[in-house]
């Protein structure tokens, strides 16, 4: 039945048509599959909003009817998450009789958790107190907020190439211009950073910010050494741009000596630090933080009053209980041991397959989640994805001006000598025809869902060279 807005009663003639067509009353449809009446209803940002290619991959993998070994993202091994401890602490919180954690919290974050973080960073040489700390909803929110505060439309932002895809999306969504600078085996090329800074300054468009992931970088696994950290800070002070130090993998070191935080080497005027508990406790609880000068923190607090009004209070209390109870240190040690085993297993198989072939190179990280495989330029890694998916493995391909790249995340539970039925074997069949055969022998059977493999292959190559991750 259809209601005629110009009539007080229903239109009897329409009853049978509605029933036959299956259209619900009042013109409603069973699925809201369309969009607003016109793209022009959106703002410029709304029309051009960017998302994460990695998140699209996970969404597609989630729809498959079988397990895929996901060498695609910085996601912890689920078997290493502290399920039992978090369950116990959560039960204690809900059974305490104190309902305060179910009420609104303060926008800047739980005082006890901020105090804990301030003490942790003082131990790492950063002279901060709780007023220099704010809790965020995951680590990416801190990056997004700094883009919001620093960028006017068209402002250039220097990034590592390759970079974390969500970082790139934050820049684009705040209408900044991405300026990629190539990663070398000892970190971002500082001379190229200076060259770009001077180039844009000469055009009257000074670089506003550089975003770096200086320790076990996503996705290369590379750590920026002390000398380059000092050089980058010197550039920031001479040319007045902000360094956003995104450092979520820092605690997951399994060999070598730690480098000092960029924030510890600065006076707080040119460095903002962001991180998260996602890699050490749980990504699902969505608790991150920003450490910065008080003026930065004050702006974040004001902005979040109209964004989300603060981070989930039960999650913050749970994280603090985990840290206060002395669980964080042993958990980090456990993770480091496990990821070291995974790294050694993967590097061993890469050596066995490619150790004789100088056309293939890879990073050998001292911590974190990532290995970065570099192939000859004529290998089109995007073409390999469907083949790899057929073998039960997903990876992120990429291309740069002179290299072909594959991103392998260590965090998947399958990459351990205990879980491998037979070694990972990657063999170049014929570089001249731009094909590389990626063979993997895991416990899981071969993929038969060819359509899902094809769909995934279409999603990944959409970003340009520096944005592939």
Predicted pLDDT at 134 = 98
pLDDT band (50, 70, 90) for residue 151: very high
- Is 240 a member of any domain? yes
pLDDT at 342: 87
User: Do 231 and 114 belong to one domain?
Assistant: yes
Give the C-alpha separation, 7 to 289, whole Å: 58
In this predicted structure, the answer to whether residue 384 has a pLDDT above a threshold of 80 is no
**Is residue 48 situated within a structural domain?**
no
Integer-rounded Cα radius of gyration of the chain: 25
Given a cut of 80, whether residue 170 has pLDDT beyond it is yes
106 and 254 in a single domain? The answer is yes
Asked if the model's pLDDT at residue 425 lies above 80, the reply is no
Neighbouring CB atoms inside 10 A of 357's CB total: 13
What is the tens place of the pLDDT at every residue in 338-367? 999 888 888 887 787 778 878 788 899 999
44 lies in some domain: no
Same domain, 377 and 274: no
Domain-located, residue 184? yes
Confirm if 396 and 412 have CB atoms less than 8 A apart. no
* Shared-domain flag, residues 315 and 334: no
Q: 24: pLDDT confidence band, cut at 50, 70 and 90?
A: low
Q: Which residues pair with 159 in a beta bridge?
A: 180, 211
For residue 209, give the CATH number of its domain: 3.40.640.10
Out of 284, 300, 326, a domain closes at 326
Helix 226-239 / helix 190-202 crossing angle, nearest 10 deg: 10
Mean pLDDT check: name the lowest of 80-89, 290-299, 413-422.
413-422
Is 394 in the same domain as 269? no
Of residues 407 and 104, the one with the higher pLDDT is 104
Q: Could you give the angle at the alpha carbon of 136 between the alpha carbons of 131 and 140, nearest 5°?
A: 130
pLDDT given for residue 109 in this prediction: 97
Q: Do 175 and 300 lie in a common domain? A: yes
Domain final residue, candidates 274, 302, 326: 326
Phi, psi for 429 (deg, rounded to 5): -85, -45
Is pLDDT above 90 for 293? yes
Number of domains in the chain: 2
List Cα–Cα distances, 445 to 69, 342, 417, 418, in angstroms: 11, 21, 18, 17
Same structural domain, 307 and 188 = yes
Q: Does residue 318 surpass a pLDDT of 70?
A: yes
Q: What is the CATH number of the domain that holds 363?
A: 3.90.1150.10
pLDDT, averaged across the chain = 80
Distance of alpha carbon 455 from alpha carbon 449, whole angstroms: 10
Task: Say yes or no: 76 and 207 in one domain.
Answer: no
CA 244 to centroid of chain Cα atoms: 15
- What is the rounded distance in angstroms from the CA atom of residue 114 to the CA atom of residue 365? 30
Q: What is the pLDDT of residue 53?
A: 63
Last residue of a domain, one of 326, 341, 364: 326
Report the percent of the chain where pLDDT is more than 90.
Answer: 55
CA-based end-to-end distance of the chain: 51
pLDDT value of residue 124: 95
Structural domain includes residue 33: no
Residue 140 backbone dihedrals phi, psi, to 5 degrees:
-65, -30
- Residue 39 has a pLDDT of 85
pLDDT band at 82; cut points 50, 70, 90: very high
Same domain, 68 and 149: no
How far is it, in rounded angstroms, from Cα 96 to Cα 83? 20
Is 32 contained in some domain?
no
Please tell me whether residues 335 and 404 are part of one structural domain.
Answer: yes
- Which residue range is the domain that position 420 belongs to? 53-80+330-467
138: in domain? yes
Pair 121, 203 in one domain:
yes
Residue 152 is given by DSSP the state P
Domain assignment present for residue 162? The answer is yes
- Considering the domain architecture, whether residues 167 and 296 belong to the same structural domain is answered as yes
């Amino acid at each position: 039945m259809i209601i005629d807005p110009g009539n007080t009663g229903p239109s009897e003639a329409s009853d049978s048509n509605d029933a036959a067509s299956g259209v619900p009353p009042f013109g409603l449809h069973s699925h809201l599959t369309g969009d607003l009446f016109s793209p022009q209803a959106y703002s410029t940002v709304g029309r051009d909003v960017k998302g994460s290619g990695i998140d699209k991959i996970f969404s597609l993998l989630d729809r498959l009817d079988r397990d895929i070994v996901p060498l695609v993202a910085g996601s912890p091994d689920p078997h290493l998450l502290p399920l039992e401890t978090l369950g116990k602490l959560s039960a204690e919180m809900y059974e305490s009789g104190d309902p305060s954690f179910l009420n609104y919290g303060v926008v800047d974050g739980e005082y006890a958790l901020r105090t804990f973080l301030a003490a942790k960073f003082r131990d790492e040489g950063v002279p901060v107190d709780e007023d220099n700390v704010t809790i965020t909803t995951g680590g990416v929110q801190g990056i997004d907020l700094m883009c919001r505060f620093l960028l006017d439309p068209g402002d250039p932002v220097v990034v590592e190439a390759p970079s974390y895809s969500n970082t790139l999306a934050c820049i684009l969504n705040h209408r900044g211009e991405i300026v990629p600078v190539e990663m070398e085996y000892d970190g971002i090329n500082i001379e190229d950073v200076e060259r770009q800074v001077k180039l844009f300054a000469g055009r009257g468009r000074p670089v506003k910010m550089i975003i770096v992931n200086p320790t076990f970088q996503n996705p290369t696994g590379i750590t920026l050494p002390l000398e380059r950290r000092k050089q980058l800070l010197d550039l920031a002070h001479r040319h007045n741009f902000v360094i956003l130090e995104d450092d979520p993998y820092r605690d997951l070191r399994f060999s070598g000596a730690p480098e000092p935080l960029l924030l510890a080497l600065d006076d707080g005027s040119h460095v903002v630090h962001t991180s998260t508990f996602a890699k050490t406790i749980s990504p699902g609880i969505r608790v991150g933080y920003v450490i910065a000068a008080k003026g930065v923190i004050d702006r974040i607090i004001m902005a979040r009053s109209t964004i989300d009004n603060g981070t989930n209070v039960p999650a913050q209390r749970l994280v603090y209980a985990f840290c206060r109870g002395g669980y964080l240190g042993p958990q980090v040690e456990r993770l480091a041991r496990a990821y070291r085993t995974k790294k050694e297993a993967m590097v061993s198989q890469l050596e066995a397959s490619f150790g004789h072939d100088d056309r293939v190179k890879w990073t050998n990280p001292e911590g974190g989640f990532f290995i970065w495989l570099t192939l000859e330029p004529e290998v089109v890694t995007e073409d390999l994805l469907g083949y790899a998916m057929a073998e039960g493995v997903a990876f992120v391909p990429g291309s740069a001006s002179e290299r072909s790249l594959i991103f392998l995340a260590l965090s998947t539970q399958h990459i351990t000598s205990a879980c491998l039925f037979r070694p990972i074997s990657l063999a170049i069949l014929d570089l001249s025809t731009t094909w590389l055969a990626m063979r993997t022998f895991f416990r899981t059977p071969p993929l038969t869902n060819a359509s899902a493999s094809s769909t995934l292959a279409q999603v990944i190559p959409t970003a340009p060279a520096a944005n592939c991750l």
